Structure formats: structure tokens, C-alpha cells
Amino acid sequence: MSETLSLDYQAILEILPHRYPFLLVDKVLSVELGKKAVGIKHVSFGEPYFSGHFPNDPVMPGVLQIESLAQLACILILKSFPETQGKRPAFLGIDKARFRKGVRPGDTLQLEVELLSWRRGMGTCQCRILVDGAVACDAEIMATLI
């Protein structure tokens, strides 16, 4: 599986069931099938969660950072394995999550996921978010498709 591809917003909508305001991947720069994917999330001042998290010091919630990584991981898995077609992604677990830098309005998140394993319909990915070249978040995410 050495094919590499990129996906625009419309292609993402055709792959994932998520929709605004919960679709957290704006563009997929590359997918190396069965191996890794790189995507982009533009963090806008208009994101609905900033009005309450926190009004005078807006920070993207860590759980949404993890969700953006999980969505990219599911794109990687859905594109890589034919047996996943017609299935919906579901979280199984999150390990070793660390938030190293605050994500603020105006930031562009570079999402990176690497598939560590795929067995019996369950995948584990090593994931990280870079902002201006610095790691903002990293985690190991486990998912399945139902």
C-alpha cells in the first residue's frame, strides 16, 4: 500500500459522518495508505466553544484537539482498509495524552497520525498536533469501526 493521496473538504465530508460544528479536519495534505496521514485544522475566532472556554483567554479544549486527531486517524483507516467501507468510527481509548502548548484562535494545527497497528477491526495510532512547528498535543488513540 504505497499510494499517497490528499483530500479536500468535500472529500472529507464523503468519508466521515461528522458535520459542522464537530468536523475538526479542514484538509488532508497526505495519506500514505496503511501508514500515516497529515491534515490541517484552522482554528477560527468564530469557533463556538471559545465563547465559554474561556471568554477572556480563549483556548481550544484538549478534548477537541484529541477529537481532531481521532478524525484524521479514522480517515487513514477508512481509506487504507477495504473491509471498513460503510462503517462508522468509534473511540476505544486514549493513552499518553499530553497538552504541551495552548491552542488559540488564529492557530493552524498540523495534525499527524501514524498507524501503529490494525488487528481484528481495531486500530492504534500515534498522534500529534504541531502549531508553528512546536508540539501542542500528542497521544496514542485507539479506534474501531462499527
Annotation marks residue 18 as catalytic: no
Partners of 4 in beta bridges:
32
Active-site hit among 27, 35, 53, 87: 53
Q: How far apart are CA 91 and CA 146, in angstroms?
A: 10
Compute how many other C-beta atoms are within 10 angstroms of the C-beta atom of residue 26.
18
Residue 120 DSSP symbol: T
Return the C-alpha cell found at 32.
Answer: 500514505
Please list the active-site residues.
Answer: 53
